Structure 1
Amino acid sequence: MHAPAPHPRKSFFLGMRLFLPVAISIASYGVVWGVLAGQAGLTPLEVVLMSGLVYAGASQFVAIDMWSPLSLPVASIVVATAVINLRMLLMTATLRPQFEHLPRWRALLAMFLVSDEVWAMTMAEHAKGGGGAAFMLGAGTLAWIGWVGSTLTGRMLGAVIDDPTAYGLDFAFTATFLALLLSMWKGRGDLVPWLAGGAIAIGVSMLVPGTWYIIAGGLGGSLLGAFLQHRMRDAA
């Protein structure tokens, strides 16, 4: 007999509570982006609008690296960020079963709050028998607030923190994803696709310019993992 599903409001606040440590890490590299945005010439309002509407950490770092107020390469920025965010198609597709009970338009709006960290925590909780749409929305809401607030803070503190690396804030991005990766560890069976994905990403980054290595590594590791899982089911 299955335990009754928790009330959506309870799941929402549970998602917020469990996501709080991750939100603190997000805020750390959000400050870094805000400092860089200030150095690139963005105003506080532009920082809030970009973080709130684009809401894509990795893409925003790439965009700010390409930012040139005198000759803004709009087309190049759009293409680069689109390539990086292609992974969201795969990630949101895996969340679809948890949103089937919602009207499509509400489910599509909810996908705006999906990020790497929110997706990883929602899937990890789902594997334990929890998760769900309300849980993801709770984690996603806190992530969005933390990202917008921290990038604005970084922009305002830009005159004080001129070099984020001096405070070790640049490592927060890497540390966050390492922690999420370990939280999703299920056993030695995960090691092969993880290593394969990493190797593919490294190889593509050396051979192909741009950020295609992100898509290649993610697709390669995911496809290998699916293939191995299918073989294990057939063997059983």
Structure 2
Amino acid sequence: MQSHDTEPPLAGNVAPFTAQGMLLGLRKVSVLLPGIVVFAVAFGAAASAKGMSLVETLLMSALVYGGVSQLVAMELWRPEWSWGAIVGLAVVTATVNARSILQGASLQPWFARYPKGLNAFHLFFFTDANWLIGTRYQAEGGRDLGVVVGAGLGLWVVWVLATVPGHMLGALVSDPRRYGIDLVMPIFFAAMIVPLWRGRRAAVPWVVAGMVALLTAKLVDGYAFIIAGSLAGAVTGAFRDDAV
């Protein structure tokens, strides 16, 4: 009997993209959906508190779809804007989202096999969660891009829909940390990363990235620790690969 978590056999070097793969991606990411709902509700509540209308809030969730960077933007949101404030907001959110460049680069050999139009489509829905799902899936021998697309689309739909009750509820769930919901993402990532363990030698870039991120967080205000840790881990991994 064929496992529900495997893709059908394919001939040659065909780059698969199937509905079955999309359903598999949705199943893989479903464990994260309750946490995503709460964070989206928190964003909706924060947007309401800042004076944004429901339509404006929905458009931001649907078109910007920045997750954490949207919550960061709400922290910096102002009733009146100057060009300096706009540039500051852009720099902060770009720093938070810069990790996506490294994430996409890590999967580029897989993504490059698909048409540019399809890549442009699925990268709009590309998040930390479906990047990690795709990384683990590919490491296990999977090739169906539908897994990444299905996970991303599922998260996007839930994020947009959950923004509505958040905006209506106001500040009721404005701080997910009060309920421990902020632990959902770290727990999910830890559970997904464990099967990627390749021994102590391969763990060196992980340790370097964590230490640099922690040090940067202590020394530099804001969200620079995200990109600093990512770059440190990537550079360390590249040098170790060259040394092998």
Shorter-chain TM-score range: 0.7 to 0.9
**Partners of 2:41 and 2:162 within 8 A in 1:** yes
SS at match of 1:189: coil
Counterpart of 2:9 in structure 1 is: 4
Task: Write out the 4+ residue segments of structure 1 that deviate beyond 4 Å after TM superposition.
Answer: none
Query: 1:164 and 1:219, CA in 2 relative to 1: closer, same or farther beyond 3 A?
Result: closer
How far has the Cα of 1:163 moved from its partner? 5.0
Aligned pair 1:60/2:65, yes or no?
A: no
Aligned to 2:4: none
**1:33 corresponding residue in structure 2:** 43
| TM-score w.r.t. length of structure 1 | 0.86
Contact 1:32/1:169 (8 A) holds in 2: no
1:85-124, aligned counterparts within 5 Å?
85-124=97-136
Identity %: 35
Mapped to 2, the partners of 1:162 and 1:120 lie a distance apart of: 27
CA drift of 1:64 comes to 0.7
1:156 & 1:150 partners in 2: Cα distance?
10
Q: CA deviation at 1:190?
A: 4.1
Range 52-61 or range 36-45, more displaced: 36-45
Give the equivalent residue in structure 2 for 1:228: 240
Deviation by residue 1:159-179 (Cα, 9 ceiling, x = unmatched): 544654433333334434333
2:204 matched residue in structure 1: 192
Deviation at residue 113 of structure 1 after TM alignment? 1.1
Structure 1 residues 163 and 63: CA distance shift in structure 2, 3 A: closer
C-alpha distance in structure 2 between counterparts of 1:12 and 1:90, whole Å: 23
Q: Summarize deviations over 1:110-148 as a string: whole Å, max 9, x none.
A: 211110111001010000011432111111110111221
**Residue in 1 aligned with 2:80?**
70
**Alpha-carbon distance change, 183 to 86 in structure 1, aligned in 2, over 3 angstroms:** same
Q: Deviations over 1:179-222 (max 9, x none)?
A: 34335434333432222111111222233333221111001012
Unaligned runs of 5+ in 1: none
Amino acid at match of 1:169: I
Cα distance change, pair 163–13 in 1 and its aligned pair in 2 (3 A): closer
CA distance in 1 between counterparts of 2:37 and 2:143 reads 23
Q: Distance in 2 between matches of 1:22 and 1:135?
A: 15
2:92 maps to 80
CA contact 2:61–2:160 (8 Å) conserved in 1: yes
CA contact (8 A) 1:32 1:170 kept: no
- Matched position secondary structure for 2:123: helix
Cα–Cα, structure 1 residues 187 and 156, in superposed 2: closer, same or farther, change >3 Å? farther
Are residue 211 (structure 1) and residue 223 (structure 2) matched?
Answer: yes
Rounded Cα–Cα distance in structure 2 between residues aligned with 1:55 and 1:133: 20
Task: Report if aligned partners of 2:43, 2:174 keep a CA contact under 8 Å in 1.
Answer: no
Aligned residues: 230
Output the TM-score relative to the length of structure 2: 0.83
